[in-house]
Amino acid sequence: MTLRVYVFALASALSLVSHPVVGKDLTIGLSGTVTSLDPHFYNASPNNSIAMQVFDRLTERTAEGQLVAGLATKWEAVEETTWRLTLREGVKWHDGKTFTADDVVFTLGRAGSVPNSPGGFGGFMRNIASVKADGDLAVVITTKAPAPTLPGELANIAIVSRHAGEGADTADYNSGEAAIGTGAFRFSTFRQGIEVGLERNPDWWGKKVVWDHAKYRMISSASARTTAILAGDVDIVDAPAATDIARFKSTEKLAFVSTPGLRVIYLAPSTSGDAWKANVKGSNGEALEANPLADPRVRNALSAAINREGIVDKIMEGTATASGQWLPKGAFSYSADIQPPKPDAVAAKKMLADAGFPNGFQLTVHVPNDRYPNAPAVVQAVAQMWTRIGVKTNVEALPWTTFSSRKSEFAMKLLGLGNATYDASSMLVNVLGTVDPKRGLGAANDSGYSNPALDEIVANAMTIYDDKARETALIEAVKIAVNDGAIIPLYQQSNAWVTRKGLSYAPRIDERTLAKDISE
């Protein structure tokens, strides 16, 4: 950034007087709620948007998803189960201390086991057996089995310092005491559910950042974001309302950018445990002895009843693509054989009858009302479709902070997954993997789904170095999960932003909104 320093020559003196630096400030209207500044507490996109700027990663992703150097400048598989990463020289923490390999060792010991995490990062490190420093500027990672995708998975792990993080808990990061990174911005303020303030790190090793200060305002209402950007109260907003896109495009002082995204919006049925009992009843409201959602025929019946194309056209207004899986076309391990199911109420009713529910049952679906665009309206539409096949459906919408802390209590819920591994494994390992912290499985599995045979197929697939063979194995796993109704995919979300004229932002397929990458 070129600082605006105004220097005036005084005619009556031989000296120069410099006026104070005028800083550049950026204000962002964020649709999601940042729940914590602990970068390992919750793997959620709003949290990651902040963490990616305060903390760096060993590897990073470009806006298009290409893997590039971060705090590691080189990575190589020196043996089938051994990776060696060369670290960047001269990197400083925000407090001036030097970044070393020991910080990486500390981070990879912490990131997968943060207490009370509602959905952590352990799945990305499930194959790591040990991490050792090789001097100050290299680490050697030994894996439990061949791990060809490890460099890409490490792009999801924020590196924290041992000197600030050892003994610290999530509250210490939220207060800023432990939120000392190597990133483009330093922590300034955090008011949960309201805003996050960041200050430029002048010593960052990366490209020069334009902004001296960046403020993230959490604006969950799409109409409120529209009002804010039109009024000039914010410089950029994410997830603009589909109904306002034409207006944004025709407003001279604004610019609209978008890209197909990696995020799938899906319904997650509870398949085990007792959480279903409070939200599933018989057709006349009576208690049931067994959980209908534990039967794949019921799950597939619910999927068959949904008109995905109708939801995309009428509710999402073309800002999403109907899907029967969780990856967009062209992504690694996308299956061309799995198309969005056509709605078939007759077939759905037959499957319910075959499963022993000819008269259906009653169900409550939970949805966050401030996290995903149009989500409550989408679930209301689904509820009507399910009611038509005999599953009388009620909808309960909750704020994200409440919803995310109670996810495991719900029988059926709407969620989104950003597919952070850029392939099918993010869903297969973290959401559909049998909950097993020792194996790094099920970190975001709140529904109790378990298929040990599927777990083994996924585990074997992720040891295959040959890309084509690994993709074939992952597609096999995707087909098993889809046929089992493990989740009910609805659509792929598009990612969009509206900025004031003069700003430039390359739309990211991972939907993150990064102040450090916004330029004038």
Beta-sheet pairing, 361-368 with 412-417: parallel
Q: What is the pLDDT of residues 57-94, one digit of tens each?
A: 999 999 999 999 999 999 999 999 999 999 999 999 99
| Predicted pLDDT at 67 | 96
Q: What does the mean pLDDT of the chain come to?
A: 94
Beta-sheet pairing, 391-398 with 361-368: parallel
Alpha carbons 89 and 73: distance in angstroms, whole number:
9
Give yes or no for a contact between 441 and 123, defined as CB atoms under 8 angstroms apart.
yes
| Predicted pLDDT at 518 | 98
Alpha carbons 366 and 407: distance in angstroms, whole number:
9
Q: What is the pLDDT of residues 255-269, one digit of tens each?
A: 999 999 999 999 999
**C-alpha distances in Å from residue 117, one per residue of 43, 400, 443:** 9, 15, 9
Alpha carbons 326 and 444: distance in angstroms, whole number:
15
Alpha carbons 357 and 334: distance in angstroms, whole number:
34
Q: 121-144 in b/e burial notation, b at 16+ Cβ within 10 A?
A: bbbbbbbbeebebeeebbbbbebe
Domain 25-217 CATH class label: alpha beta
Give yes or no for a contact between 418 and 263, defined as CB atoms under 8 angstroms apart.
yes
Within 10 Å of residue 377's Cβ, how many Cβ atoms? 16
Q: What is the pLDDT of residues 106-130, one digit of tens each?
A: 999 999 999 999 989 999 999 999 9
Query: Domain 261-493 sits in which CATH superfamily?
Result: Dipeptide-binding Protein; Domain 3 (3.10.105.10)
- Domains of the chain, by residue range, sit at 25-217, 261-493
> What are phi and psi for residue 413, nearest 5 degrees?
-145, 155
| Predicted pLDDT at 442 | 95
Task: Decide: helix, strand or coil at residue 3.
Answer: coil
Q: What is the pLDDT of residues 290-329, one digit of tens each?
A: 999 999 999 999 999 999 999 999 999 989 999 999 999 9
Q: What is the pLDDT of residues 367-395, one digit of tens each?
A: 999 999 999 999 999 999 999 999 999 99
Alpha carbons 189 and 198: distance in angstroms, whole number:
7
Give the confidence band of 14 by pLDDT, cuts at 50, 70, 90.
very low
Give the confidence band of 43 by pLDDT, cuts at 50, 70, 90.
very high
Residue 409 pLDDT greater than 60, yes or no = yes
Residue 19 pLDDT greater than 70, yes or no = no
Within 10 Å of residue 379's Cβ, how many Cβ atoms? 25
| Predicted pLDDT at 23 | 66
Q: What is the pLDDT of residues 155-182, one digit of tens each?
A: 999 999 999 999 999 999 999 999 999 9
Residue type, 31: S
pTM equals: 0.86
- Percent of all residues in the chain with a pLDDT value above 70, rounded to a whole number: 96
- Tell me which long-range contacts 499-505 makes (C-beta under 8 A, separation of at least 24): 499/235, 499/236, 499/254, 499/255, 499/257, 500/229, 500/232, 500/235, 500/236, 500/253, 500/254, 500/255, 501/252, 501/253, 501/254, 501/255, 503/235, 503/236, 503/255, 505/236, 505/257
Give the confidence band of 275 by pLDDT, cuts at 50, 70, 90.
confident
What mean pLDDT is predicted for residues 146-163? 97
